[in-house]
């Protein structure tokens, strides 16, 4: 009997050893599985536009739950306007340095030398997807698919009613681009972005591929187009449609959470939720802060930032009061995910991983400044711990821990604080000031993009960013502005100049009826103009061509030499009185 029992005992020992090895291997493999990353960025939602931050009107139960499950950066800063924030998020570099410093004015594209977040993740073996708003460039090399996003479901410009996007796009059944190809969606825009993101993430998880998903909804940005039924609960707020749009975002965040759980992705996914600037309805509720979108006071640039990673061995959900900024997110994710980066890569942001692990980071000062309609030295907010310095037109210092509304200037009481913060700013301004008017040119004649679409959003220093600019041109639009071009190859180029985009299919001199969305206020009618001439200016040469006004466009062929140049065009009446710029141009090199 003994001879029989020994082999049995050995058999069980072998099984136990093998099982132990298997469990250790599985545990080791789990530890080395790279986390998925989702960044959700909303548009024009401020710090106070959440019920968990005290808003008495809007109901955000799913975001409140995310708040409770997350590490919350309660002193987190972005630019006071959308495109600069997006450029800073994607590059980790200040907007005055990376050149994406405004929403339009020829200043909403990132310099080529700064790689974007999608490129870092793609180079490190991640699947990469963008869903929703892009707004950091229109043409190669600044389209999402040029910048590391393998799957791109997006719209161009500031919003679905922007000059850069397809004409007359509603929030319901909107037009969008899929990897550069124009398509039309079904349903409400925000629901569609989330649907497409979740489909893509499911595919990536089934392929056992880690993924980076950048989900940038256009809600609750104007126009506030949403089914009026959803606005009923907020009728007494004074911002009913705005809050209804935030409720839609909240609903989709609940769907996203359930998707992650149903697909086994919840535990090992880093979810970061933030907004791109202060609220546009600061008069309703602003969590005690002063200012909103476009302002330098706290309400313009302090936003929510929630970070959740259940499997991440981070500190338990808590508030972190250390000041941080949107430029910190990319360096943080590089550290967490072990992303590859060029040896010479430099960031204005720093990694926040130590804070997420319960440690500290070095004391720091940073500046918040962007380009609105102009820019000048000191038109900034400077952040250092609890201090806020607004140095334009005299130094104004606030301690936001005791004076969040920034009502009491205490600069005279703390001259040493003012001196330290201004000294930092002087050094920083000295670095960025020479770059401010170094525009990022649009390449033409590149094999990467056969035809380049130019729109008025890229006019140098002329604001013409929404469809309304073309519908009712103002004084600033009568000659338009120059496009900054980089001609990749010398030769003859065909250019089609338009007042209306091609898809509008409307003659130069004709007006357009108002665009009536499914819900919400219509876009205004487009006025008729007595167009009979076009001026085309390039390289200092002004060419005037007579037209009838019944054409939909003016097509001409011009020679261009390789290098940097400008192109400008405007329409005039029979007496050569300027009427409006050519809001669109389509340019390609002749073969």
Cβ proximity of 217 and 41 under 8 Å: yes
Enter the pTM of the model: 0.94
pLDDT in tens, 41-58: 999 999 999 999 999 999
Cβ proximity of 521 and 556 under 8 Å: no
H, E, C per residue of 72-138:
EECCEECCCCHHHHHHHHHHCCCHHHHCCCCCCCCCCCCCCCCCCHHHHHHHCCCEEEEEEECCCCC
Mean pLDDT, range 314-320, rounded to an integer:
98
Torsion angle, CA of 132/137/143/147, rounded to 10 degrees?
-100
For residue 217, the Cα-to-chain-centroid distance in whole angstroms is: 9
Q: How far apart are CA 444 and CA 504, in angstroms?
A: 24
pLDDT in tens, 442-491: 999 999 999 999 999 999 999 999 999 999 999 999 999 999 999 999 99
Rg (CA), the chain: 26
Phi and psi dihedrals of 130, rounded to 5?
-115, 135
Does the domain at 442-589 match CATH 1.10.3470? Answer given as no
Domain 381-435, CATH number (from 3.30.1120.10, 3.90.25.10, 1.10.357.10, 3.40.50.1370): 3.30.1120.10
The CATH 3.30.1120.10 portion of the chain extends over 381-435
Q: How far apart are CA 81 and CA 297, in angstroms?
A: 13
Cβ proximity of 288 and 55 under 8 Å: no
Cβ proximity of 333 and 341 under 8 Å: no
pLDDT in tens, 345-367: 899 999 999 999 999 999 999 99
pLDDT in tens, 266-303: 999 999 999 999 999 999 999 999 999 999 999 999 99
The CATH 2.60.120 portion of the chain extends over 442-589
pLDDT > 90: percent of the chain? 93
Torsion angle, CA of 148/150/152/156, rounded to 10 degrees?
30
Cβ proximity of 562 and 489 under 8 Å: yes
Domain 34-362 sits in which CATH superfamily?
Alkaline Phosphatase, subunit A (3.40.720.10)
pLDDT in tens, 159-193: 999 999 999 999 999 999 999 999 999 999 999 99
Residue 156: what pLDDT? 95
Question: Predicted confidence band at 15 (pLDDT cuts at 50, 70, 90)?
Answer: low
Cβ proximity of 109 and 138 under 8 Å: yes
The CATH 3.40.720.10 portion of the chain extends over 34-362
Question: Predicted confidence band at 14 (pLDDT cuts at 50, 70, 90)?
Answer: very low
pLDDT in tens, 373-419: 999 999 999 999 999 999 999 999 999 999 999 999 999 999 999 99
């Amino acid at each position: 009997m003994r001879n029989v029992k020994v082999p049995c005992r050995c058999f069980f020992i072998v099984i136990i050893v093998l099982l132990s090895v298997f469990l250790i291997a599985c545990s080791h493999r789990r530890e080395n599985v790279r986390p998925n990353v989702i960044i959700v960025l909303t548009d024009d939602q401020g710090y106070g536009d959440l019920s968990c931050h005290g808003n008495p009107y809007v109901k955000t139960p799913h975001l409140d739950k995310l708040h409770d499950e997350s590490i919350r950066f309660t002193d987190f800063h972005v630019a006071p306007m959308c495109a600069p924030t997006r450029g800073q998020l994607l590059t980790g570099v200040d907007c005055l340095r990376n050149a994406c410093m405004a929403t339009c004015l020829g200043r909403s594209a990132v310099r080529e030398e700064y790689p974007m977040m999608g490129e870092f993740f793609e180079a490190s073996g991640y699947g990469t997807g963008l869903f929703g708003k892009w707004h950091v460039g229109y043409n190669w090399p600044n389209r999402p698919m040029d910048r590391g996003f393998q799957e791109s479901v997006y719209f161009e410009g500031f919003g679905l009613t922007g000059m850069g996007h397809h004409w007359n796009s509603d929030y319901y059944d909107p037009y969008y681009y899929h990897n550069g190809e124009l398509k039309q969606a079904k349903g409400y825009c925000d629901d569609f972005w989330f649907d497409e993101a979740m489909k893509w993430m499911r595919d990536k998880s089934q392929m056992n591929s880690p993924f980076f998903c950048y989900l940038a909804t256009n809600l609750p940005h104007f126009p506030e187009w949403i089914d009026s039924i959803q606005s009923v609960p907020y009728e007494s707020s004074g911002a009913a449609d705005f809050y209804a749009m935030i409720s839609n975002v909240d609903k989709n965040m609940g769907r996203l959470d359930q998707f992650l759980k149903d697909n086994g992705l919840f535990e090992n996914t880093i979810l970061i939720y933030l907004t791109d600037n202060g609220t546009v309805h600061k008069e309703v509720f602003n969590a005690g802060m002063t200012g909103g979108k476009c302002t330098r006071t706290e309400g313009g640039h302090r936003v929510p930032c929630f970070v959740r990673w259940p499997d991440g061995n981070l500190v338990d959900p808590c508030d972190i009061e250390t000041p941080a900024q949107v430029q910190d997110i990319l360096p943080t994710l590089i550290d967490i995910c072990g992303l590859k980066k060029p040896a010479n890569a430099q960031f204005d942001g720093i990694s926040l991983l130590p804070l997420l692990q319960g440690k500290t980071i070095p004391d720091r000062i940073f500046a918040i400044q962007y380009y609105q309609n102009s820019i000048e030295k000191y038109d900034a907010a400077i952040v250092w711990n609890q201090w806020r310095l607004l140095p334009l037109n005299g130094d104004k210092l606030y301690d936001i821990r005791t004076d969040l509304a920034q009502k009491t200037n205490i600069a005279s009481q703390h001259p040493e604080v003012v001196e330290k913060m201004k000294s930092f700013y002087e050094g920083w301004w000295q670095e960025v000031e020479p770059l401010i008017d170094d525009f990022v040119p649009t390449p033409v004649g590149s094999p990467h993009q056969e035809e380049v679409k130019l729109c008025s959003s890229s006019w140098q220093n002329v604001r013409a960013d929404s469809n309304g600019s073309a519908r009712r041109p103002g004084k600033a639009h009568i000659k338009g502005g120059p496009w900054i071009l980089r001609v990749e190859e010398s030769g003859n180029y065909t250019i089609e100049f338009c007042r209306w985009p091609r898809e509008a299919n409307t003659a130069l001199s004709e007006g357009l009826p108002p665009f009536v969305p499914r819900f919400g206020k219509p876009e205004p009618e487009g006025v008729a103009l007595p167009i009979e001439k076009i001026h085309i200016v390039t390289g200092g040469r002004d060419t005037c061509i007579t037209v009838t006004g019944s054409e939909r466009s003016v097509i001409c062929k011009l020679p261009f030499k390789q290098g940097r140049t400008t192109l400008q065009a405007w329409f005039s009446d029979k007496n050569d009185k300027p009427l409006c710029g050519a809001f669109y141009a389509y340019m390609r090199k002749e073969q």
